[in-house]
Amino acid sequence: MEKKKILIIDDDPVIVKYLEKLFHDNGYDTIFAYDGLEADSIVEDVIPDLITLDIEMPNEWGPRFFRKLTKNKSCKEIPVIVISGLGSADHSIRKAVKFFSKPFDSDKLMETVNKEIG
Amino acid sequence: MRTSGQIDKILLVDDEQDIREVIEISLSGSGYTVFTAENGKQALDIFKKEKPLIVLTDIKMPGMSGIDLLRKIKNINPDTEVIIITGHGDTDLAIKSLKYEAIDFITKPISYDALQIALKRANDKIITRCQLEEYTNSLEILLREKTELQDHLSSLGIMIGSISHGIKGLLTRLDGGVYLMESAYENSKFDEIGEGLSIFKETVNRIKKMVLDILYSAKERKLKLEKINVAEFAADVAVVIEQKIEKNKIEFHRDFGSDDIECEMDAKYIHSALINILDNAVDACLADKTKSSHKIVFKVDQDNGNLIFEIKDSGIGMDLKTREKIFNLFYSSKGSKGTGFGLFITDSIIKQHHGRINLNSAIGKGTHFNIKIPKHHTKKA
Ligand SMILES: Nc1ncnc2c1ncn2[C@@H]1O[C@H](COP(=O)(O)OP(=O)(O)OP(=O)(O)O)[C@@H](O)[C@H]1O
Ligand SMILES: [Mg+2]
């Protein structure tokens, strides 16, 4: 079976690296984008199985990317997990499957990911 | 290097004297200090005394066999690497020795090259283990540093709230650094361990700097003044510190006055200003072992136009010299347990509220803080 693919969107390269490693270690494939615009062009070619999304990013921030995503027919069913230092569960993007506040608990994150696409 | 044995010592065990002699010459030539034994029992005695990290043993010996010796040695110090010497056709025994974690086996007649290859394997394994130990140690130190940092940060309360986005990102980076190290460690990928370590170190430094920046910019922050019900507010403050007080079996007296006192203030700021003082009060009680019991009083009062908080403890108290320094940034008498942030921040918050802090303190008697802030603030033009 082909590995499930996770799109990581975060402007901090270290955090991207962390998430990549974490997901690889748990048997997933990854692609990443440093902001919403990059992510936009990625989802034109590749449909990921799940997306982790930061909120505050340069160029195009999380909520706007999310809005566009939900309007895109082929992408609107993709589960999105918000991982952000900004705000809390109730301030965050409402339709996201889950909100993780930074610094997040990696076990809990993997639990959620596995539940969604594992 | 922290190893539980001697890396340049080798113990050689064989019942045949000429074989011992030949190998001993070869090993000494390679720079090892060689100890020899002619049977398992003698070998164990020498092993316990000299603690070599490499043992070379014949597999077939009268009395204790090489395999038995191997198992006993691994039992005493699992970090020891044992090379087994086998005769022609002892394949089954040789394989059995690997099962008991011999690092390698060489067959008689012993060739110089085979011996060197086996020794190199043993040494590589020993060195790798030392490196792992070193990484684990620095990981422990760094993790402790992270926890301390987080504690300090959370004790700063409001400051964190306002810069939280940046800090939270950095804390996540710390976790990332640790994760990379752990993951690489588990897979013995040492180059990747270094990467995680440097991310970690760099981030720790950035957080340290950030904390300093926050402190210096704290004074410039605008207050968010709100009308606050003081009794409710004080109860909220008490709840935060209560656990720590009760856990340490200190008596806690609360007196929040009448229910209807109101005061204009930045509640978050005053909250952490008071927590800092209460925190210190607990520390002062814990530091004083001369008394059989301790007590902290947290009281709210008012007098013409001012709100007064009083915090009293029965702890160690301070002398005059200390009293003069306590509001200085970084002044702390608590070594690594204190940063000296607490009262510096409290002081600047109270000043921002146009208030005053008075205190009485005497060594052995305890300390009494009295904080006064005006109940109403006229808006500046
Ligand atoms: N109630 C008290 N009784 C005795 N000494 C006190 C008391 N409050 C403060 N001090 C002294 O003042 C010093 C400075 O206090 P401050 O809270 O600023 O720093 P700290 O408690 O050492 O570190 P931290 O910033 O982590 O709270 C303390 O280290 C202690 O020596
Ligand atoms: Mg303090």
- Architecture per CATH, domain B6-110, reads as 3-Layer(aba) Sandwich (3.40)
Please report the pLDDT score of residue B332 as a whole number: 80
Average pLDDT, chain B: 85
Q: Give the per-residue SS3 of B296-349.
A: EEEEEEEECCEEEEEEEECCCCCCHHHHHHCCCCCCCCCHHHCCCCHHHHHHHH
- Indicate if the pLDDT at residue B35 is higher than 90: yes
Please report the pLDDT score of residue B283 as a whole number: 93
Where does the pLDDT of residue B162 fall: very low under 50, low under 70, confident under 90, or very high at 90 and above? Answer: very low
Instruction: Calculate helix-pair angle for B190-218, B158-186, nearest 10 degrees.
Output: 170
Where does the pLDDT of residue B131 fall: very low under 50, low under 70, confident under 90, or very high at 90 and above? Answer: confident
For chain A, give the longest Cα–Cα distance: 38
Task: Write the ipTM.
Answer: 0.80
Instruction: Tell me the CB-side half-sphere exposure of residue B135, using CA atoms within 13 A.
Output: 27
* Tokens 């608990």 -> residue: A105
Residue B313 — φ and ψ, nearest 5°?
Answer: -130, 160
Instruction: Tell me the CB-side half-sphere exposure of residue B168, using CA atoms within 13 A.
Output: 22
Please report the pLDDT score of residue B3 as a whole number: 47
Ligand found nearest the CA of B337: 1
> Residue B23 in contact with residue B35, Cβ under 8 Å?
no
Average pLDDT over residues B7-14: 91
A110 in contact with chain B, both atoms CB, cutoff 8 A:
no
Question: Taking the complete model, does pTM exceed 0.90, yes or no?
Answer: no
Residues of B in contact with A12 (CB under 8 A): 169, 172-173
CA A103 to chain centre: 15
Separation of B216 CA from ligand 1 center, angstroms?
Answer: 19
CA distance A19 to chain B (A): 8
CA-CA-CA-CA dihedral for A78, A82, A88, A91, to nearest 10: -50
Residues of B in CB contact (< 8 Å) with A are 164-169, 171-177, 179-180, 183, 199, 203
- Indicate if the pLDDT at residue B336 is higher than 60: no
Pocket-forming residues, ligand 1, beta carbon under 6 Å = B 155, 276, 279-281, 284, 313, 315-318, 322, 326, 331-334, 338-344, 367
Report CB contact under 8 Å: A22, B179: yes
Kindly state the percentage of chain B with pLDDT values over 70. Answer: 87
Please report the pLDDT score of residue A6 as a whole number: 98
pLDDT digits (tens, 9 = 90+) for A10-24: 988 999 999 999 999
Which two structure tokens, joined as six digits, stand for B203? 């981030």
A12 in contact with chain B, both atoms CB, cutoff 8 A:
yes
Ligand found nearest the CA of B364: 1
DSSP-assigned letter for residue B380: P
- Indicate if the pLDDT at residue B157 is higher than 60: no
Structural domains of chain A sorted by starting position, each given as residue range(s) with its CATH number in brackets: 5-113 (3.40.50.2300)
Average pLDDT over residues A66-89: 82
| Cα–Cα distance, B209 to A26 (Å, whole number) | 35
| Atom in ligand 1 nearest the alpha carbon of residue B366 | 3
Q: Which residue has the higher pLDDT, B187 or A8?
A: A8
A108 in contact with chain B, both atoms CB, cutoff 8 A:
no
Q: Which of B9-23, B47-61, B125-139, B274-288 has the least mean pLDDT?
A: B125-139
Separation of B146 CA from ligand 2 center, angstroms?
Answer: 19
Q: Domain B226-374 sits in which CATH superfamily?
A: Histidine kinase-like ATPase, C-terminal domain (3.30.565.10)
Please report the pLDDT score of residue B280 as a whole number: 94
Please report the pLDDT score of residue B381 as a whole number: 36
Beta bridge partners of B265: B226
| Alpha-helical runs (H) found in B219-263 | 230-247
Please report the pLDDT score of residue B293 as a whole number: 95
Kindly state the percentage of chain B with pLDDT values over 90. Answer: 45
Residue spans per domain, chain B: 6-110, 154-218, 226-374
Q: Which residue has the higher pLDDT, B265 or A71?
A: B265
pLDDT digits (tens, 9 = 90+) for B194-209: 788 888 878 877 776 6
- Indicate if the pLDDT at residue B55 is higher than 60: yes
